[in-house]
Structure 1
Amino acid sequence: MATPQVERTSVTIRGLPANAPPLRIALISDIHVAGPDMPPERLEEIVAQVNALEPDIVAIAGDLVSEKRTATHIYTPQQIVAPLGKLRSRFGTFVVPGNHDHWFDMPGLARELGANGITLLANEAVVAGPLAIGGLDDAYTRRADLRGTLAAMEGLEGVRIILSHSPDPFPRVPRGVPLMLAGHTHCGQVAYPWGGAPATMSDYGNRYACGRVDENGKTLVVGAGLGTSLLPLRLFTRPTIWLIELRGK
């Protein structure tokens, strides 16, 4: 598989100091640890690539594992999560559940995430540096509670952002939350060379399928993911790490 490409974008957000250095968020998603294409050894190399970007926050938008029938090896929760424990950032690593995580062993993954110092957010919120991060549980399996997550963010200090596995909750996110980060779509995984994809696993088709979307005063960034599901291949979609710089107005 190809080395992940680093996509960069800058988002200007009211509430951050205008004269401060930008806050750097590394977004990864859809790691799908499984043989043959994403063994833990390959994930360790990607973790080193993320650390070299020197992020302030690492956000993981779900689907740590793949239990696809074509897999040559299915790993344990400990083997899946251990490389992620080596991620380094100033304010921590935060992850939300994906549909494959629930289908595999969410309790086992949750135990290993906690043991490795990674914060799991499932319709919960936490302060990380100057941000208040709300983490949605998986919308694809109907576990997301946007209202409850927004309620959990009330009273927390910091600029509000949402981390979600699926991008589909984005239209319902209020304008008071200026940034949402997501994955799930793989940018199609198998895409057309001229853009777009025949399948995105999103109710909105290609509208929120890939990359940055600015809409109704809010910004959405959807990662292409790192691994694969169903089949261990990608076509016209490279694995991606997003580096998002937040700058104050």
Structure 2
Amino acid sequence: MGERIRFRYAQAMRVLLCLVIVAALFGLALLGWMFAEARQTPVVRRATVELPGWPASAAPMTVAVIGDIHIGSIAMDAARLTRIVAQINALRPDVVVLAGDFIAGHDIGLSTDRAPLLVAPLKRLTPRIGTVAVMGNHDHWTGIGPVRAALAAAGVIILDNQTQRFGALTVLGLDDRYTKHDRIGAAMAAARTLPGPRLLVSHGPDVVPDLPADVPLVVTSHTHCGQIVLPLYGPLEIPSAYGAHYLCGVVREGGRATIVGAGVGTSVLPLRLNAPPDIWLLTLWGANRAQR
């Protein structure tokens, strides 16, 4: 009887060991898959947006948007960013928008070493008109000075609650909402002194409900589209006060379209699942152009 019990116990232990090994192999395979997704070539997503006030004489304009570069993690180095820049250049945009969070990490001082890694790749951007950027929460947390210096060295125009004309388009750039640096009133006051259709750039989407009606298009990032989205469960975390409402993609409310990108880097974990990195390529024009 004792031998039989010992035999069954040994059998159970072998089965348990096999199950543990299978689970460990599955876990390693899943982590490898998630890391590969985090570093994959960004998906190009496209949208066409009609903007009120588009000049009848102006041709349509293309705007390429990325956010959340988060350089300094193993998911984003200078070599990968250079490949992404080449991918953007191949789309031949008129304007490139960089929607904040250039640095990986949370601790003050990290940007000192990491921000300079941005310069050489971003200097290769070749939009017809120009490149514009706004700051994100990680940029403020890690040290905003080196980030601004690196972007300036790369020829990027930084809009801190400011407005600038890019061809037919008036671009408003808000500083980061999550670190309480956004000033909507100042940006709007400047925008209303300029003619033409408006595009507002913000690192994250939580500013959208506070915007006036005369902002018809907003481009943002910050949510990473969930970054890790589990089947049946959904995102592990949604960094927005509005839950999944502004999680990802195109959100249309009344006369406004909000574009929420997945970003190209990662935060905290260098992993993605069911939320691949992306580049948005927007074609902007007016109803008068669409009817031709």
TM-score over 0.5 for the alignment?
yes
98, 101, 114: which is aligned to 2:152? 114
What SS class does the counterpart of residue 212 from structure 1 fall into?
Answer: strand
The alpha-carbon deviation at position 154 of structure 1 amounts to: 2.0
Q: Is the 8 A contact 1:24 1:56 kept in 2?
A: yes
68, 71, 75: which is aligned to 1:33? 71
Please, what is the CA RMSD of the aligned residues?
A: 1.9
Note closer, same or farther for the CA distance 1:135–1:37 as it changes in structure 2 (3 Å cut).
same
| Worse-superposed segment, 201-210 or 30-39 | 30-39
Q: Is the 8 A contact 2:71 2:114 kept in 1?
A: no
Write the deviation string for residues 165-216 of structure 1: whole angstroms up to 9, x where unpaired: 0101111212211100000000010113368523121000100110001102
Matches within 5 A, 1:197-236: 197-236=235-274
Distance in 2, Cα, partners of 1:76 & 1:176: 37
Distance in 2, Cα, partners of 1:152 & 1:53: 31
Residue 49 of structure 2 is matched in structure 1 by 11
Distance in 1, Cα, partners of 2:232 & 2:86: 32
186, 195, 201: which is aligned to 1:157? 195
What SS class does the counterpart of residue 150 from structure 1 fall into?
Answer: helix
TM-score (norm 1): 0.93
Matched, 1:76 2:95: no
Note closer, same or farther for the CA distance 1:244–1:196 as it changes in structure 2 (3 Å cut).
farther
The alpha-carbon deviation at position 19 of structure 1 amounts to: 7.1
Aligned length in residues:
246
The alpha-carbon deviation at position 122 of structure 1 amounts to: 1.0
1:188 partner amino acid: G
Matches within 5 A, 1:66-215: 66-67=104-105, 75-193=113-231, 196-215=234-253
Q: Is the 8 A contact 2:106 2:141 kept in 1?
A: no
What SS class does the counterpart of residue 168 from structure 1 fall into?
Answer: helix
2:49 partner amino acid: V
Moved over 3 A (4+): 17-21, 192-196
Q: Is the 8 A contact 2:100 2:136 kept in 1?
A: yes
% same residue: 44
1:155 partner amino acid: T
What SS class does the counterpart of residue 181 from structure 1 fall into?
Answer: strand
Write the deviation string for residues 17-73 of structure 1: whole angstroms up to 9, x where unpaired: 45754210101000111131111010000000000000011011100110269xxxx
What SS class does the counterpart of residue 11 from structure 1 fall into?
Answer: strand
Between structure 1 and structure 2, the one with the greater Rg is 2
Structure 2: gaps spanning 5 or more residues: 1-38, 288-292
Write the deviation string for residues 75-112 of structure 1: whole angstroms up to 9, x where unpaired: 43221233111111111000000011111121111112
Residue 25 of structure 2 is matched in structure 1 by none
Q: Is the 8 A contact 2:174 2:187 kept in 1?
A: yes
Residue 239 of structure 1 is matched in structure 2 by 277
What SS class does the counterpart of residue 238 from structure 2 fall into?
Answer: coil
1:154 partner amino acid: R
The structure with the largest helix share of the pair is 2
2:265 partner amino acid: G
Residue 87 of structure 2 is matched in structure 1 by 49
Structure 1: gaps spanning 5 or more residues: none
The alpha-carbon deviation at position 157 of structure 1 amounts to: 2.4
Q: Is the 8 A contact 2:119 2:153 kept in 1?
A: no
| Worse-superposed segment, 161-170 or 171-180 | 171-180
Distance in 1, Cα, partners of 2:202 & 2:119: 19
Distance in 2, Cα, partners of 1:61 & 1:52: 20
Residue 29 of structure 2 is matched in structure 1 by none
What SS class does the counterpart of residue 206 from structure 1 fall into?
Answer: helix
Note closer, same or farther for the CA distance 1:128–1:196 as it changes in structure 2 (3 Å cut).
farther
